[in-house]
Structure 1
Amino acid sequence: MILELADFQIHPQHNDAFETAQQRGISTCIARARGYEGFKFNRCIEALGRYVLQIFWTTLKDHTVGFRESSAFTDWRAIVGPFFARAPLVQHFDLVAKSA
Structure 2
Amino acid sequence: MITEIAQIEVNPGQEQEFEEAVAKALPHFLAADGCDGVDLHRSVEHPSRYRLMVRWETVEHHTVTFRGSDGFAKWRSLAGPYFADAPQVEHVHSVLAP
- TM-score, normalising length from structure 1? 0.94
Matches within 5 A, 1:39-78: 39-78=38-77
Deviation of 1:35 after TM superposition, in Å, equals 0.5
Question: Secondary structure at 1:12's aligned position in 2?
Answer: coil
Deviation of 1:77 after TM superposition, in Å, equals 0.2
Number of aligned residue pairs: give it.
98
Please tell me the root mean square deviation across aligned C-alpha atoms, in Å. Answer: 0.8
Deviation of 1:48 after TM superposition, in Å, equals 2.1
Matches within 5 A, 1:29-48: 29-48=28-47
Separation (CA, whole Å) in 2 of partners of 1:9 and 1:76: 16
Separation (CA, whole Å) in 1 of partners of 2:49 and 2:11: 9
> Could you tell me which amino acid in structure 2 is paired with residue 56 of structure 1?
R
- TM-score, normalising length from structure 2? 0.95
Separation (CA, whole Å) in 1 of partners of 2:20 and 2:74: 15
1:19-50: per-residue Cα shift (whole Å, max 9, x none)?
Answer: 011111122x1111000001111110001210
Separation (CA, whole Å) in 2 of partners of 1:85 and 1:36: 26
Separation (CA, whole Å) in 2 of partners of 1:19 and 1:71: 20
> Could you tell me which amino acid in structure 2 is paired with residue 38 of structure 1?
G
Cross-structure match for 2:13: 13
Question: Secondary structure at 1:20's aligned position in 2?
Answer: helix
Structure 2 unmatched runs, 5+: none
Displaced runs of 4 or more, over 3 A: none
> Could you tell me which amino acid in structure 2 is paired with residue 50 of structure 1?
R
